[in-house]
Structure 1
Amino acid sequence: MQRCRFATVPAFVAALLSVAEGALAQADSPDLFAPSRTSLLGDAGGLRPGLARVGIALILTDINEAFGNLAGGIKRGAAYQGLSTLTLQLDTQKAFGWGGGLFNISGLQIRGHNFSQFHVGDLQTTSGIAATPTTRLWEAWYQQQIVDGKLDVRVGLQSLDQEFMTSTGSAVFLNTMMGWPMLPSADLYAGGASYPLSSLGVRLKAQQGAFTVLGGVFQDNPPGGPFANDGQLRGSSRWGGNFNLRTGALFIGEIQYAHNPPSVGAPNAPAAQSGLPGTYKLGFWYDTAGYPDQRFDTRGVSLANPASSGIARTDRGNFSLYAVADQTIWQPDPEQPMALAVFLRPMIA
């Protein structure tokens, strides 16, 4: 699979040309382990079909971007950014007869020049793949389904942006914050356990009818450094091998309601009920670790006061509430993918 994006960005506006399937999302599929004829490298000379017969899925994606800044920002110029993702998954039922199990491991090869950092200077970065160039481990987890698939448990190294706070509507757009939002990026250690970072933890998922509940506890500081330091430049943090357990715990939960969902396994198929499809989510997160106060130093003096020590006091009780809404509002033909949809993702912290 290959995705190419070419855009001109005057200040904060981008135009997108994209030819691809989804790259970062690891969505479930009923034919996940079937031989692929549409993925990058096709059947890889027979390797993919051979692996699929024993329950192994080889998933390879590649994204390449070129951006140019004609006016405004930090300076004019252009930059290239690229990301290759390799994922291996093992279906334990096909591999050795253990039903409902799935092993997953993935790695990232990040390259190029950070366009936003050197040319634009925006908080909500232009590219969704911008990160320190490196080759690193991303996710490594085991998932087990129980109760006829209505409940599953996932344990291991996980990137929270793959399941929590997601919006199908926002995923269409290029800006980074259309994936993992700005609020947790600014309010959690190192921006939280989102691409290209991940954290050790446990996640539970329960499904009943139109409702889905997600909940988990994760290590809150993937690189293990100071609050605002993502640590991608140092040692094991750079290649994803720093499994920090020394800072605090991040508790996160989300309840989802799917209204008139498409038929299972057919995202463009007519809804099982009459009406247009929509998904609504409510969630929260709470971090047990201390975090630097934004207003006062360790003596209670305003950080803006020249007499301040400049060292922020440590506070506790870092939490957030959020909601996500995706709703199709116009679809002339349920048999066709053409539709008009809206999305909303408000948050407070």
Structure 2
Amino acid sequence: TRRGGAYDGLTQLGVVVDTEKALGLPGGTFNVSALQIHGSNLTQRDLQTLQSASGIEADATTRLWELWYQQSLFSGKVDVKIGQQSADQEFMVSQFATPFVNGTFGWAALPSVDLPGGGPAYPLSSLGVRLRVKPADAWTVMGGVFNSNPAGSNTGDPQQQNRNGTNFNLRGGALLIGEVQYALNAPSTDAANAPASGLPGTYKLGFWYNTQRFADQRFDNTGLSLANPASSGVPAQHRGDYSFYAVADQTVWQRGADSPQSVGVFARVMGAPGDRNLVDLGVNAGVTLKAPFKGRDNDVAGLAIGYAKIGSHAQSLANDTAALTTPGYPSRSAETVVEATYQYQVTPWWQLQADFQYVFRPAGGIPDPANPSQRIGNETIVGLRTNIVF
């Protein structure tokens, strides 16, 4: 919507306590973390995209992030975590997508847009319980039940409603998440077994279900289009919302068993009902090259694409608006972002990252505030990220 620049920053502090060493309680881990977010939000101010240009963009504040206790059982085959948690740290994660800057390659656009408050994901978290079972080296099963809305309310800015992360909310509904993981060519933990051969990969299938009510994206409570001047303006309601997803990470080439140089590919697909969701299909895919140059063993180059399809009812509402009230109102289809990035490891504790993104049809095609009869044009984003770990 305008040309400009922005700075956004994040300082993260975490404390992890091994309860066996600290208190004599075997298998326990206590974790508390906090975020200090500063700068401004380029996506919200200038871009209006569904897939945020940066995964650390958020309202400036200091907030509690996670506060949980985890207990390991049965020689590490089972563990239970309870407390304030950010589900994006464990569920729907793609290993080879993590180097990319755009937020959609972390907590994907579909749950970020469709779930109340964006779901229990950065910068918010929810009270919940997570169970993880590892019946064999190659298999992991996870399930979790979380508060359905980390903001505590369905009105207003979720981050402002829970500005400091201390709303330990148990009101509303529940968010249930389940995931099954299979590690291809995973190294065995049994010393008697031969080491794994072949290139490693990880494959995941999962789902989530939210028990709250969700507004229809096209029809009101009388059956009229929300764009109709005679509409009540009160959306029809649907009980519950859900999504199914699949994630694949696969190393497809490695120079040698002891070489850091390798190529990995990833893909993530998720879908949700088109009547109650602004985004009903999300797709991520990409490729990363580790150690692209001799002597640069910890550098990573990557190219990825993110696709967020506008739900069927939201598309129809845009068409209704053009037909009934605003001739020339843009139609909506999908938003696509392409990202190219390079991580340069300056020292073991300091990383620089150059980044380029190009967005086709921001928000799937919404009116330009300066000219409502036209959609916002395609966008070019360039940036530099620095990351220090100590």
The answer to whether the superposition gives a TM-score over 0.5 is yes
- 2:252 pairs, out of 313, 329, 334, with 329
Partner of 1:213: 141
SS in 1 for 2:36: strand
Question: Using the alignment, how far apart are the partners of 2:186 and 2:12 within structure 1?
Answer: 29
SS in 2 for 1:317: strand
Percent identity over the alignment? Answer: 57
Question: Using the alignment, how far apart are the partners of 2:141 and 2:29 within structure 1?
Answer: 20
Instruction: Using the TM superposition, name which of 211-220 and 299-308 deviates more.
Output: 299-308
Partner of 2:353: none
The question of whether the paired residues in 1 share the 8 Å contact of 2:249 and 2:264 is answered with yes
- TM-fit CA distance, 1:263: 7.2
Deviation digits for residues 290-332 of structure 1, max 9, x if unmatched? 1111121122222122211111122113111000000011111
- TM-fit CA distance, 1:262: 5.1
Quick one: which amino acid aligns to residue 251 of structure 1?
A: L
Question: Using the alignment, how far apart are the partners of 1:114 and 1:240 within structure 2?
Answer: 19
Instruction: Indicate yes or no: 2:171 matched with 1:246.
Output: yes
Partner of 2:350: none
Matches within 5 A, 1:96-245: 96-209=23-136, 210-226=138-154, 229-234=156-161, 237-245=162-170
The structure-2 alpha-carbon separation of the partners of 1:161 and 1:230, relative to structure 1 and needing over 3 Å to count, comes to farther
The question of whether the paired residues in 1 share the 8 Å contact of 2:175 and 2:209 is answered with yes
SS in 2 for 1:346: strand
The question of whether the paired residues in 1 share the 8 Å contact of 2:188 and 2:196 is answered with no
- TM-fit CA distance, 1:140: 0.2
The question of whether the paired residues in 1 share the 8 Å contact of 2:50 and 2:113 is answered with no
So what's the TM-score if we normalise by structure 2? 0.66
Instruction: Indicate yes or no: 2:239 matched with 1:316.
Output: yes
SS in 1 for 2:6: strand
- 1:348 pairs, out of 261, 265, 271, with 271
Matches within 5 A, 1:221-300: 221-226=149-154, 229-234=156-161, 237-261=162-186, 272-300=195-223
What's the RMSD between the two structures over aligned residues?
1.4
- TM-fit CA distance, 1:132: 0.3
Question: Using the alignment, how far apart are the partners of 2:3 and 2:152 within structure 1?
Answer: 35
Structure 1 stretches of at least 4 aligned residues deviating more than 6 Å after TM superposition: none
Partner of 2:6: 79
The question of whether the paired residues in 1 share the 8 Å contact of 2:209 and 2:242 is answered with yes
Q: Structure 1: give runs of 5+ residues left out of the alignment.
A: 1-73, 265-270
SS in 2 for 1:172: coil
Question: Using the alignment, how far apart are the partners of 1:84 and 1:315 within structure 2?
Answer: 39
Question: Using the alignment, how far apart are the partners of 2:10 and 2:165 within structure 1?
Answer: 16
Aligned length: 267
The question of whether the paired residues in 2 share the 8 Å contact of 1:126 and 1:174 is answered with yes
SS in 2 for 1:156: strand
SS in 1 for 2:44: helix
SS in 2 for 1:218: strand
The question of whether the paired residues in 1 share the 8 Å contact of 2:120 and 2:126 is answered with yes
Question: Using the alignment, how far apart are the partners of 1:151 and 1:230 within structure 2?
Answer: 37
Question: Using the alignment, how far apart are the partners of 1:320 and 1:261 within structure 2?
Answer: 28
Q: Structure 2: give runs of 5+ residues left out of the alignment.
A: 273-390
Partner of 2:374: none
Partner of 2:358: none
SS in 1 for 2:70: strand
Deviation digits for residues 69-107 of structure 1, max 9, x if unmatched? xxxxx2222111110001011101101211000000000
Question: Using the alignment, how far apart are the partners of 2:2 and 2:79 within structure 1?
Answer: 49
Question: Using the alignment, how far apart are the partners of 2:195 and 2:235 within structure 1?
Answer: 54
Question: Using the alignment, how far apart are the partners of 1:334 and 1:292 within structure 2?
Answer: 53
SS in 2 for 1:169: helix
